Amino acid sequence: MHIEQAAATATRERESQLIMLMDHNLYLKSVVFDVDPLIKPRGKLTCLGEQVKISRVFHCDGLLLCMLKDNAMVVVWNPYLRQTRRIEPSCHSRRLYDGNIYMYALGYENKKNKACRSHKILKLYNERAKYRLSCYEIYNLDSGLWRTLDVPPHTWFLNHDETESSVSLKGNTYCVL
């Protein structure tokens, strides 16, 4: 299903669109806010193939950051343009996937000319054995490179529930810890 076609239909029918994660797949839904609110299924969104399972989704500026169920990589998806980009883990974090907790966020930085934005992925992770946040990394979608931030480790610890408590607003990521 293509989101552009569904958006045109939703506009005609005075509906709002939303994307919902269910059973490790993304679905497009329409919401009618009349006297009796109604959610209508529009169809399954396909971007990665049937065998790929998504565990979490973050949104910023029309882009979706999909964290795959196996934690091996993340995918940035523009559902409107039907474009996807697989993001391989950084060299440093590849060896840390067993039993560690990861938090991702998607945001952007305005470029100097203010007409373009540079989208970035923030990744935090805990090494379970150390019980602290041990690394911060940023992936720049323009350059395709991971950069480790020089931030001292914190003694607080992310648990699984906290990794789902972030939201992006105007390119800034806010987390509830």
Give the integer Cα–Cα distance in Å for 130 and 2.
45
Burial class (CB in 10 A: 0-12, 13-18, 19+), 127: middle
Give the integer Cα–Cα distance in Å for 2 and 9.
11
Sheet holding 132-140, edge to edge: 101-110, 117-127, 132-140, 145-148
Tokens 């789902």 correspond to what residue? 164
Question: Which residues does 56 contact at the CB level (< 8 Å), separation at least 6?
Answer: 21, 66, 67, 104, 163, 164
User: How much is the pLDDT for 163?
Assistant: 47
pLDDT for 60-79, tens place per residue? 888 989 888 766 678 898 88
Nearest 5°: the CA angle 93, 150, 170 is 85
The closest alpha carbon to 127, from 151, 163, 95, 89, belongs to 95
User: How much is the pLDDT for 141?
Assistant: 93
User: How much is the pLDDT for 142?
Assistant: 92
- The answer to whether the CB of 42 falls within 8 A of the CB of 53 is no
User: How much is the pLDDT for 139?
Assistant: 93
User: How much is the pLDDT for 76?
Assistant: 92
Question: Which residues does 113 contact at the CB level (< 8 Å), separation at least 6?
Answer: none
Q: Quick one: what percent of the chain has pLDDT higher than 90?
A: 8
CA 9 → CA 5, 14, 33, 36, 121, distances in Å?
7, 9, 16, 20, 32
pLDDT tens string, the chain, 177 residues long: the values are 555 555 555 555 667 778 888 888 888 888 877 766 677 767 777 666 667 788 888 888 889 898 887 666 788 988 888 888 989 877 655 444 556 667 788 888 887 776 788 899 988 776 665 555 667 889 999 999 999 888 776 655 555 444 455 666 666 666 655
How many residues comprise the chain?
A: 177
Give the integer Cα–Cα distance in Å for 66 and 58.
7
CB atoms inside a 10 Å sphere around CB 100? 17
